[in-house]
Structure 1
Amino acid sequence: MFRSSGGEPMAAPATTARALPDRLLEVATRLFAKQGFERTSVAQIVETAGVTKGALYHYFDSKDDLLHEIYARVLRMQRHRLEEIATGAGGPAERLHAAASDVVVTSIANLDDTTIFQRSMHQLNPEKQREFRAQRRAYHERFREIVREGQEAGLFRADAPTDLTVHFFFGSVHHLGTWYRPDGPLSAADVGNQFADLLLAGLRPA
């Protein structure tokens, strides 16, 4: 997604191959945020984007596909970044802190996308819901592996269940959209660092 320095969505450059699908996703995100997924029609999306229904259906099979892709592209980006962090330099504590901070910062940078999807995911067809859950489980499992690595090295509490740790942390991340405001006193980096600090503090051995 292309965004201005102020965080506002921007259209992808017309020279890129992804220009039209990105434009459709930006418009769909805006309309879903303003009036809800159910109350937004395909006709409204194509009219606002200035394209035909045929152009939309060339890239997306349905409105469900638009909703799924709005968050799927964010999740793909986050999984790629997590993999780079997990296989990068530093010990488990350093990499877990970096991974925890990164998912907060990237979630805030794409807050409309993540909030819309969390609010409307139940309206996807069952197959799309299963696909999304499998993708998110894979992301959480990679995060969990860093926690396990730290436990095995004696750096984290051995009595902290990794599943509970991951659910606790990501439950907080998924609620960012209910309270975070870009014009508030904390930047995305501030929140990311504090979330990561709290996670590491909870895992620190007695």
Structure 2
Amino acid sequence: MARTASSVDEPVRERLLSVATRLFAERGFEGTSVQEIVAAAGVTKGAMYHYFDSKDDLLHEIYGRVLRMQMERLTRFAEGDEPIETRLYAAAMDVVATTVENLDDSKIFFRSNHQLSPETRKVVRAERRRYHERFRDLVIEGQREGTFRSDIPAEMVVDFFFGSVHHLGTWYSPEGTLSGAAVGRYFADLLLASLRPEAG
């Protein structure tokens, strides 16, 4: 796992992450060596291993920093005082917008995560599962209070929604006409519409 860096260490650490992200995008995870990463970052292997245990650790952190940010934001939405529809809408819109804002990181990870070590994959799955479960709890809350339809399992709602979110990297282009926020609104509208109880 990545070691915690102090603020004075951040420039080198962030440079390594930036360079690794670019090289993984250009050459693929398997096609990029540690030596190429440190050479492009202008540091020694020893400096890299001060911050990251391995190339696996770098790939994990590229995605992990996005997921941690999204988890912090989801927690704020979930713990708010607004009605459940408002909180779920905000959470759904936010995860789409922040995924688009960090699309390169997400694309690199999902394209390469099968090459991670089994132990690292296990850690990442657990981290992502915690996010999905926190999101699912919002759906369950709305179902229990009668705001959302309860004939569809909340787990299936979440799997369907995040299947679409994880697919963003295959079609979204920042040069297109839709911003990440606009796509987020569409996704959130579709999610909430699908959860409204049927009349009668």
Provide TM-score, normalisation by structure 1: 0.91
Q: Aligned AA for 2:70?
A: Q
Distance in 2 (alpha carbons) for counterparts of 1:45 and 1:186 = 34
The aligned runs of 1:42-61 (5 Å cut-off) are 42-61=34-53
Q: Secondary structure at the match of 2:9?
A: coil
Residue equivalent to 1:98 = 90
Residue equivalent to 1:124 = 116
For residue 17 of structure 1, report the CA deviation from its aligned partner: 3.4
Q: Indicate yes or no: 2:73 matched with 1:89.
A: no
Q: Indicate yes or no: 2:162 matched with 1:170.
A: yes
2:187 pairs, out of 184, 195, 198, with: 195
Residue equivalent to 1:17 = 9
Provide TM-score, normalisation by structure 2: 0.94
Q: Which moved more, 1:166-175 or 1:16-25?
A: 16-25
Q: Return 5+ residue gaps in structure 2 as ranges.
A: 1-6
Task: Count matched residues.
Answer: 192
- After TM superposition, which residue ranges in structure 1, 4 or more long, deviate above 4 angstroms? none
Which structure carries more helix by proportion? 2
Q: Return 5+ residue gaps in structure 1 as ranges.
A: 1-14
Q: Sequence identity, in percent? A: 64
Distance in 1 (alpha carbons) for counterparts of 2:98 and 2:11 = 22
Higher relative contact order (CA 8 A, sep 6+): 2
Aligned-residue RMSD, C-alpha: 0.9
